[in-house]
Amino acid sequence: MPKNARTRRWTAADLPDLTGRTAVVTGANSGIGLAAVDALARAGAHVVLAVRDTGRGEAAAATVRGARGTLEVRRLDLADLASVREFAASWDGDLDLLINNAGVMAVPEAVTKDGFEMQFGTNHLGHFALTNLLLPHITDRVVTVASSAHRLPGARIHFENLNLTGEYSPFRAYAQSKLANLLFTLELQRRLAAAGSPVRALAAHPGWSATNLQNRDANPLRRIGAQIGNRIIAQDSKAGALPTLYAAVQDLPGASYVGPSGPGEIRGTPTLVGRSPAASDPETARRLWAVSEELTGVTFPDRLRSTASSPERAH
């Protein structure tokens, strides 16, 4: 932890003036996604809420009052690659900031419309495709929301069985998807740097934030435990959004990982945090990228590809 991590509490009030800047936040109709939308809009940004249900998105946008910036709701279903392509194809103009926030956690076994395990397909592959399709428009940075769950014992990318067919467990799948988020960030940053792009890829995690995410847990006992923890341990969604916002605006190195500064990274002011050895392996990151391109049919943009394809060009 940096020596100055506890000297001053960074808050959304520390966001710079974002007037004239545009941000997309996925999964923006509740939790830390909506908290990030609120903070960015209050700082003057034009914020697009990318949500599966536009009715819920409009209702969420209506809760943001007194913002200097503007809000817009667009449909995006990360569990459907056709929807991802439609969203990206409709984009026109610059996009300063993409926040890959949406996610599902520890849900019962299911698959996306394209046949991918739901958590890997939504949390990783949907955002992988969205980012690469939007990358020609992105001018500043991509922030992907990961989780401390990437450190769970045995967490790895199951290349031989990404859908975990016959060996599915909700948290094994969740840990795989969150590890994938960090490996994606690592390889995206390598490719951007190799291409000489000024765009940066960073990751963040909210610690334990009281949101609706835990209510979808496949295990009823864990749901009850999470509800209790939400009341007595967790920080609220506004505090949970701070690492994401910090990663979005602070002058941090590419591939940085931001989380809460407190014990166990459960709560606290945002600071740079570490990641597991599995989340730091460039070879696994490159392998995951290649597999993700094959599964989604989406590749790194051609205009950036020539240098980024060569690992030795990245420094």
pLDDT digits (tens, 9 = 90+) for 120-131: 999 999 999 999
Q: Is the pLDDT of residue 214 over 80?
A: no
Range with the lowest mean pLDDT among 5-14, 135-144, 186-195, 225-234?
225-234
Q: Is the pLDDT of residue 310 over 80?
A: no
Question: How is residue 216 written in tokens?
Answer: 């979808």
Q: Is the pLDDT of residue 223 over 80?
A: no
Q: What is the pLDDT of residue 315?
A: 31
Q: What is the pLDDT of residue 218?
A: 53
> Is 174 noted as a catalytic residue in this protein?
yes
Answer whether 0.85 is exceeded by the pTM: yes
For residues 173 and 120, what is the distance between their CA atoms, to the nearest angstrom?
7
Range with the lowest mean pLDDT among 78-87, 104-113, 202-211?
202-211
In the β-sheet with 257-260, what is the strand arrangement from edge to edge? 70-75, 46-51, 22-26, 95-100, 138-145, 200-204, 257-260, 270-272
As a whole number, the mean pLDDT across the chain is 90
Q: Is the pLDDT of residue 225 over 80?
A: no
For residues 164 and 38, what is the distance between their CA atoms, to the nearest angstrom?
37
Residue 103's φ and ψ, nearest 5 degrees, are: -175, 160
Range with the lowest mean pLDDT among 16-30, 232-246, 275-289?
232-246
Q: What is the pLDDT of residue 6?
A: 45
Please state the rounded mean pLDDT for residues 90-117: 97
Please state the rounded mean pLDDT for residues 20-47: 98
Q: What is the pLDDT of residue 224?
A: 44
Categorize the per-residue pLDDT at 221 as very low, low, confident or very high, splitting at 50, 70 and 90: low
Range with the lowest mean pLDDT among 160-169, 254-263, 305-314?
305-314
Q: Is the pLDDT of residue 222 over 70?
A: no
For residues 48 and 27, what is the distance between their CA atoms, to the nearest angstrom?
11
Categorize the per-residue pLDDT at 313 as very low, low, confident or very high, splitting at 50, 70 and 90: very low
Q: Is the pLDDT of residue 92 over 50?
A: yes
Candidate list 168, 174, 246, 257, residue with the active-site label? 174
CB count, 10 Å around CB of 228?
A: 11
Q: What is the pLDDT of residue 8?
A: 75
For residues 216 and 224, what is the distance between their CA atoms, to the nearest angstrom?
11
Question: How is residue 135 written in tokens?
Answer: 């990358």
% pLDDT > 90, the chain: 82
Which stretches of the chain are DSSP H helices?
31-42, 54-61, 81-89, 118-119, 127-134, 170-194, 220-232, 237-249, 282-296, 302-308
